[in-house]
Amino acid sequence: MSLLEISHVDISYGKRITVKDSNLTMDKGEICSIVGESGSGKTTVIRAVLGLLAGGGKVTAGEILFEGKSLLKLNAAQWRALRGHDISMIFQDSGAMMNQTRLIGNSYVEYIRTHENISSREAWEKGAEMLGRMRLPDPDRIMRSYPFQLSGGQRQRVGIAMGMTYQPKLLLADEPTSALDVTTQAQIVRQMMELRDEYGTSIIIVTHDLGVASYMADKVVVMKDGKIEDQGDRDYMLHKTDNAYTRKLMEAVPSLGGKRYV
Ligand SMILES: Nc1ncnc2c1ncn2[C@@H]1O[C@H](COP(=O)(O)OP(=O)(O)OP(=O)(O)O)[C@@H](O)[C@H]1O
Ligand SMILES: [Mg+2]
């Protein structure tokens, strides 16, 4: 059984069908990158997987199965049990998602306490331990900081730590590195790959960067105008596909075939 199976899915905001007839299958421990131009529907697809479509977005056709069970039939309580535990999401700028007027530690404690009935003190310790595991130096200082007191890379590691608190089976990452400089980007990408190796986490990463996509992903999915145009492994993307759009995207990344990206 696949971990995630998206089949023939349409997603609409209001009357307009935004994502059309999309299919994607993911196995446990697989890393999949979604690439494609702005507005092609990448965020829409991963938000649908987490049941968090904005603006009245709805899956209007097809099926999304997680471990063989339909995600489209879950009620609010079932979603609460699943989100954060089995599937979590990290955002483009985790810092911006956090309350700027609260200490990271307090936000983290609140997050943990929505999932687990433990004391604030225990939650604080658990949070600090996760930050340490994400190799954030001096976790206690980070817990006692406000989001704006951290660097972009540190904030993103905090976001990943939060997303990984319960070692989800599937991590959805929407452009998690695009706000960062190239060196920090490379570190975060490596760290996400280590999560897969260490915990067997499957990852869907949305990225504009085909270099990142091909470097880290077992499978690359190319979206265009709300449709999955093409998908396959790195070798297929680089050498085998005869999809004109994929080839055009690939040609725009001259270093891909030769130099290692990270
Ligand atoms: N909340 C919303 N209400 C209405 N339309 C939306 C909403 N969110 C996205 N859309 C539309 O859906 C389409 C796909 O948007 P989406 O955000 O999935 O693109 P994307 O591939 O993630 O783009 P980007 O690379 O810019 O993040 C766009 O045409 C967008 O206008
Ligand atoms: Mg997007």
The answer to whether the CB of 92 is under 6 A from ligand 1 is no
Q: Determine the 3-state secondary structure of 222 from DSSP.
A: strand
Report the pLDDT averaged over residues 55-59.
93
Give a yes or no: residue 258 inside a domain: no
User: Any idea what the CATH number is for the domain that residue 213 is in?
Assistant: 3.40.50.300
Domain that holds residue 247: 4-251
pLDDT tens per residue, range 113-122: 999 999 999 9
The answer to whether the CB of 38 is under 6 A from ligand 1 is yes
Picking from 9-13, 49-53, 67-71, 249-253, which range would have the lowest pLDDT averaged per residue? 249-253
- Please name the residue that has the structure tokens 């915990």: 199
Give a yes or no: residue 53 inside a domain: yes
Q: Are 106 and 113 in contact (CB under 8 A)?
A: no
User: How far does Cα 29 stand from its chain's mean position?
Assistant: 14
Q: What is the band of 262 on the pLDDT scale with cuts at 50, 70, 90?
A: very low
Domain total of the chain:
1
Report the pLDDT averaged over residues 127-135.
92
The answer to whether the CB of 18 is under 6 A from ligand 1 is yes
The answer to whether the CB of 12 is under 6 A from ligand 1 is no
Give a yes or no: residue 19 inside a domain: yes
Ligand 2 center from residue 201 Cα (angstroms): 22
Asked whether residue 252 carries a pLDDT value surpassing 90, the answer given is no
**How large is the greatest C-alpha to C-alpha distance in the chain, in angstroms?**
57
- Separation in Å, CA 233 to CA 33, 153, 183: 10, 28, 25
Give a yes or no: residue 54 inside a domain: yes
| φ/ψ (deg, to 5) at 193 | -65, -35
Burial class, 235, CB count within 10 angstroms (exposed 0-12 / middle 13-18 / buried 19+): exposed
What does the pLDDT read at residue 219?
94
The token pair that represents 91 in the structure block:
């955002």
Q: Are 239 and 218 in contact (CB under 8 A)?
A: no
Q: Are 171 and 4 in contact (CB under 8 A)?
A: no
Report the pLDDT averaged over residues 182-189.
87
Give a yes or no: residue 194 inside a domain: yes
- Contacts by 27-30, CB closer than 8 A, 24 or more apart: 27/2, 27/3, 27/202, 28/3, 28/169, 28/200, 28/202, 29/196, 29/200, 29/201, 29/202, 30/3, 30/202, 30/203, 30/218, 30/219
Q: Which residues of 51-63 are buried (b: 16+ CB within 10 A; e: fewer)?
A: bebeeebebebbe
Q: Where are the alpha helices (DSSP H) in 91-151?
A: 94-97, 104-115, 120-133, 139-143
Give a yes or no: residue 25 inside a domain: yes
Q: Determine the 3-state secondary structure of 148 from DSSP.
A: helix
pTM of the complete model:
0.91
Closest residue to atom 18 of ligand 1, CA basis: 41
Higher pLDDT: 252 or 60? It is: 60
Give a yes or no: residue 261 inside a domain: no
**Rounded to an integer, what distance in angstroms lies between the CA atom of residue 11 and that of residue 148?**
35
